[in-house]
Structure 1
Amino acid sequence: MKPAKEMDETVAEFIRRTSLKIPMNEMMTILKAWDFLSENQLQTINFRQRKECLVQDLVGLCEEKSASVNDAALLDIIYTQVHWHQKVWDVFQMSKEPDEDVDLFDMEQFKRSFKKILQRALKNVTISFRDAEENAIWIRIAWGTQCTKPNQYKPTYVVHYPQTPYAFTSSRLKSIMPLLGQALTVASKHHQIVKMDLRSRHLDSLKAIVFKQYDQTFENHNSTTPLQERCLGLDVNMDSRIIHENEVEKERVQRITQESFGDYPQSQLEFAQYKLETKFKSDLNGGILAERKEPLRCLIKFSSPHLLEALKSLAPAGIADAPLSPLLTCIPNKGMNYFKIR
């Protein structure tokens, strides 16, 4: 009988750091989802002790089972699936040639192909997969080089929805994107991949935008009720002509706002960025700007914890005129929050 293989010190440290990130009220749920330790082993852990001591006991149990780097990576994926809002996600869209047929997706074949492409290009790389709800596949990639081991603390996460051309990635490293793009397109049997001008911490909102899955939970009101009765209360002593004027204007603003944003909760984005690049044109001769060869450049950024809901509230609150600029209201339909205006 072969002796159990000892767990590598780097794996022990990897598990320790990942476990320390997990909030205590989520610890048992995440460990059960990990499904590496048995129910009996979990019952031996005292969850009422200090977190550092709990994690030390947890690492000891993992050492008994000789946890591998892939086991540790899976724990990290599960933690990230719960705390996806800690990452900034970019959206990539793939496409096929016009005459290409739609292939049936084979999950195991996708995994083998994806891993083979990256491992051929890089000697040191750790690739882990986990299937999730709605047929999504989560991929975790820890990058190394030909001479250095993979850095497990700066991985790239990819969320791909099979049978769709979309992938969501957490990495901002430009150097790895060509290789990652190649692995995604070949494994999913697409021809080309492009990065969309869409980014957010809210993965579910990005998914809702690109899949056009807007939440159709309408406001709780009787649609047959006249709009005037749903407006804010007005002073009963106010001149009736002013009351009528206010009601007409509020009705107009609410109608235009609903036409622009719909009557459902908005997808959650944190910002929209607009880059202006234009050359100055004038019929007048001379002037510094007229002689300028370089275009004028300007950057405008709108930020909010919930940008689309904030924009939706501007006109009804009287802060902006209705309708808002199409550049502000087109974000969900165009699937982008980065704009270049020339």
Structure 2
Amino acid sequence: MGDSTKSLLQRIIRRIPSRAIESTLRKWGRLTAEQLQSIDFTQPKWTVTQELLDMCEEGNWTLKFITELEMSYIIDNPNQGMWYAYQLMNPEDDANSVELTQFKEQFKSHLKQLVRHISLKMKKHTDEAVWIRIAWGDRFFQPNHMKPTYAVHYLQTPYVFVTSLTSKHKPLFSQAMTLSTRYQAIKDANLSGRNLTAIRDLLMRQFQQAFPTKHPSPLAERNQTVSHPRIEKEQDGNAANRLELACEAFGGGTLPQLQSAVYKLETKFRDQTNKAMTEREESFKCIVKFASTNLLESLRHCASSGFASTPVTPLLSSISLKGKNYFVITDNSPGAASQPRRAQDK
């Protein structure tokens, strides 16, 4: 077993919480029942790591086995980095007929034609997602397994989610993805986050959406004494209306746990009391970021409780309605105009 294999195994074990090491190794399936039983998982992590390194040496485990361990852990714990969503564009006539085996063969073939030294591993998950692990090399260097790119693609859909893809490798990945899926282009969906499930549900509309209705549903009755029936009736009506508008803007039921939204402002400065700024030819630029453990839930609560005005401004409702969380606001558009971002070296 080479030094690179040992280093990768050490790095993977460091990432796995101590309480999850045993279950991860059992799911990996490369250790025998006797080997698993011989490991005392209550020991410090460095001791467990050394025992695994000894087993690797004895079993002459290959780099392939170690990457399987990493991939198994990442699939079960995807929220390890920043994920970026992309959308495939202009499907060809046979795009919907591409199946798993065909996609895997085509993707590997196209990418290996573009990169001389590269390591690819692909696995279909239980939710029909195809997980892709790419260790990049080049003409002179072997693949770097310490900094792999992970991608998730749902067959029969135009959506791809990627993490740790540098600007250098983005054109190569994009070309291989479009050719293997029978699409003609791929674009940035202007949606990113650390919670892969959240951005997937938001982009693929896998959450309860509410639509405008002329017959709003009344709020649930509250157990309290009504001292002023007319005032109480009016307040309930206003509250029901706010709740309906909030749900129309952000969705109903359980919402995707999106953690942030970014608005980049590029407009002329307008303030008659500040001529120095108003008369500048350059655009006024600033960035506004909303952050929360569950941003959509927070915004919906603000609107339904009256802390934010309703109807909800399109600047905020576009997060759910358009499935995006990055917007560029310019003078050329009355609302939130989305523009592609520069490549993210993450």
Q: Normalization by structure 2: what TM-score? A: 0.84
Structure 1 match to 2:56: 62
What is the Cα deviation at residue 28 of structure 1?
Answer: 2.5
Deviates more, 1:45-54 or 1:129-138: 45-54
Q: Does 1:24 align with 2:18?
A: yes
Contiguous gaps of at least 5 residues in structure 2: 210-216, 331-346
Letter in 2 for 1:317: S
Match of 1:77 among 68, 71, 74: 71
What is the Cα deviation at residue 172 of structure 1?
Answer: 4.7
What's the CA shift string for 1:173-224, capped at 9, x where partnerless? 21211111111111222211111101111111222122221158xxxxxxxx
Match of 1:227 among 218, 224, 227: 218
What's the CA shift string for 1:42-96, capped at 9, x where partnerless? 2332323332222211222222222222211111111111221121111111123
Pair 38,187 (structure 1): closer, same or farther in 2 beyond 3 Å: farther
Match of 2:35 among 41, 65, 68: 41
Pair 43,291 (structure 1): closer, same or farther in 2 beyond 3 Å: same
Alignment of 1:1-342 (within 5 A): 7-97=1-91, 100-215=93-208, 227=218, 229-231=220-222, 236=225, 238-279=227-268, 287-289=275-277, 291-342=279-330
The alignment partner of 1:309 has SS state of helix
- The percent identity for this pair of structures is 33
Counterpart CA distance in 2 for 1:248 and 1:306 is 27
Counterpart CA distance in 1 for 2:77 and 2:219 is 43
The alignment partner of 1:133 has SS state of coil
- The answer to whether the 8 Å contact 1:272/1:337 transfers is yes
Pair 228,335 (structure 1): closer, same or farther in 2 beyond 3 Å: closer
What is the Cα deviation at residue 239 of structure 1?
Answer: 4.1
Counterpart CA distance in 2 for 1:248 and 1:103 is 47
Counterpart CA distance in 2 for 1:74 and 1:296 is 49
Pair 228,214 (structure 1): closer, same or farther in 2 beyond 3 Å: closer
Counterpart CA distance in 2 for 1:313 and 1:130 is 39
What is the Cα deviation at residue 228 of structure 1?
Answer: 5.2
Counterpart CA distance in 2 for 1:171 and 1:150 is 15
Counterpart CA distance in 2 for 1:165 and 1:131 is 17
The alignment partner of 1:96 has SS state of strand
Question: Highest CA radius of gyration, 1 or 2?
Answer: 1
Counterpart CA distance in 2 for 1:48 and 1:251 is 54
Pair 228,133 (structure 1): closer, same or farther in 2 beyond 3 Å: closer
The alignment partner of 2:305 has SS state of coil
Counterpart CA distance in 2 for 1:313 and 1:191 is 41
The alignment partner of 1:191 has SS state of strand
What's the CA shift string for 1:116-171, capped at 9, x where partnerless? 33333333322222221122111111223333333222211001111211110002
| Equivalent pairs, count | 322
Counterpart CA distance in 1 for 2:156 and 2:236 is 49
What's the CA shift string for 1:303-341, capped at 9, x where partnerless? 111000000000233321222212212212211111111
Structure 1 match to 2:337: none
The alignment partner of 2:199 has SS state of helix
Q: Normalization by structure 1: what TM-score? A: 0.85
- Let me know the Cα RMSD of the aligned residues: 2.5
Deviates more, 1:322-331 or 1:253-262: 253-262
Pair 103,228 (structure 1): closer, same or farther in 2 beyond 3 Å: closer
The alignment partner of 1:41 has SS state of helix
What's the CA shift string for 1:217-271, capped at 9, x where partnerless? xxxxxxxxx835535x65x475444433432322222232233333311111111
Counterpart CA distance in 1 for 2:28 and 2:200 is 25
The alignment partner of 1:12 has SS state of helix
Structure 2 match to 1:222: none
Pair 244,104 (structure 1): closer, same or farther in 2 beyond 3 Å: closer
Counterpart CA distance in 2 for 1:257 and 1:287 is 39
Pair 258,173 (structure 1): closer, same or farther in 2 beyond 3 Å: same
